[in-house]
Amino acid sequence: MKYAIFSDIHANLEALNAVLSKCERLRVDKYISLGDIVGYNANPQECVDRIRSLDLAGAVKGNHDEYASNNSQEMEGFNPHARDAILWTKSQLNEESRQWLASLPLRSTIPQTGITIVHSTLDSPEAWGYIFDIHHAADNFSYQFTPLCFCGHSHVPIAFMKKPVTSASEKPIDEIMHWSHKRNESLVPDVVDVEDSIMIDIKSGYKYLVNVGSVGQPRNRDPRASFVVYDSVVNTLTRYRIPYDIELAQSKIREAKLPERLATRLLLGN
């Protein structure tokens, strides 16, 4: 079975369509959404419709989904751009989409798959914390009872593995360094136009905590849409980077009169 796992689409329909056509070419069987389908970009309703039309194995709620679908004006930790985008998003979503987003759980274990999903962190998902280092990963692993856990929220791909048994001298948790390579480098333009992928072989008895990156607003200076495929037959995780029509996504942001910064950051990948 092939599962496509993605997060932080953020209403970027061009990026989502590019990812989904790649999934078709890869013959993905089922889809898993890690939240923040809406917010920031210009097609929230269309992205919710597209996600709901997929064969979903699981879906969890992100903070932007939460704020766009509840009746409160409170948006903890949001800067003015994110806040403006949420207020605009609320005006774009129909009642059915709002109810669907509001109904999503904060974390979920998908039966028969060995997969747990969360937008932020397993230890306290409602606090919308981030996993940036091995200490955050350690907190998360103590609440992870399946071999695989997928998360999003930071828009920066990062992955950790926890070994089954350790001697006193051995570190139990390692960052899988090549998963997040390039995160501090700018990519040259011709590299940005090609697809690229990174693979991990899943070892039995190990636990993996994997941030899949962002489809619709990548922030590791690589503007290409990021997502992951888990192949449960050959036991691999592959993270793809897919080019998409950034200019079209930008023009829609400007047409909707959303903050200009939301358009410029797409090309910079930050």
Could you tell me the smallest distance in angstroms from the CB atom of residue 111 to Zn ion? 27
Q: Is 66 in the site for Zn ion (CB under 5 A)?
A: no
Q: What SS3 string covers the chain? A: CEEEEECCCCCCHHHHHHHHHHHHHCCCCEEEECCCCCCCCCCHHHHHHHHHCCCEEEECCCHHHHHHHCCCCCCCCCCHHHHHHHHHHHHHCCHHHHHHHHHCCCEEEECCCCEEEECCCCCCHHHCCCCCCHHHHHHHHCCCCCCEEEECCCCCCEEEEECCCCCCCCCCEEECHHHHCCCCCCCCHHHHCCCEEEEEECCCCCEEEEECCCCCCCCCCCCCEEEEEEECCCCEEEEEEECCCHHHHHHHHHHCCCCHHHHHHHHHCC
Structure tokens at 42: 């210009």
Could you tell me the smallest distance in angstroms from the CB atom of residue 15 to Zn ion? 13
**Cα gap 136→186, rounded to integer Å:** 26
Site residue total, Zn ion (CB under 5 A): 2
Could you tell me the smallest distance in angstroms from the CB atom of residue 154 to Zn ion? 8
Q: Is 8 in the site for Zn ion (CB under 5 A)?
A: yes
Among 12, 20, 36, 38, binds Zn ion (CB under 5 A): 36
Nearer to Zn ion, 161 or 249 (CB): 249
Could you tell me the smallest distance in angstroms from the CB atom of residue 155 to Zn ion? 6
Q: Is 65 in the site for Zn ion (CB under 5 A)?
A: no
Nearer to Zn ion, 8 or 14 (CB): 8
Could you tell me the smallest distance in angstroms from the CB atom of residue 249 to Zn ion? 15
Nearer to Zn ion, 8 or 66 (CB): 8
Of 1-9, 69-77, 81-89, 227-235, the window that binds Zn ion (rule: CB under 5 A) is 1-9
Could you tell me the smallest distance in angstroms from the CB atom of residue 91 to Zn ion? 20
Site for Zn ion in 138-197 (CB under 5 A): none
Of 34-42, 51-59, 89-97, 237-245, the window that binds Zn ion (rule: CB under 5 A) is 34-42
Nearer to Zn ion, 36 or 66 (CB): 36
Query: Which positions lie near Zn ion, rule CB under 5 A?
Result: 8, 36
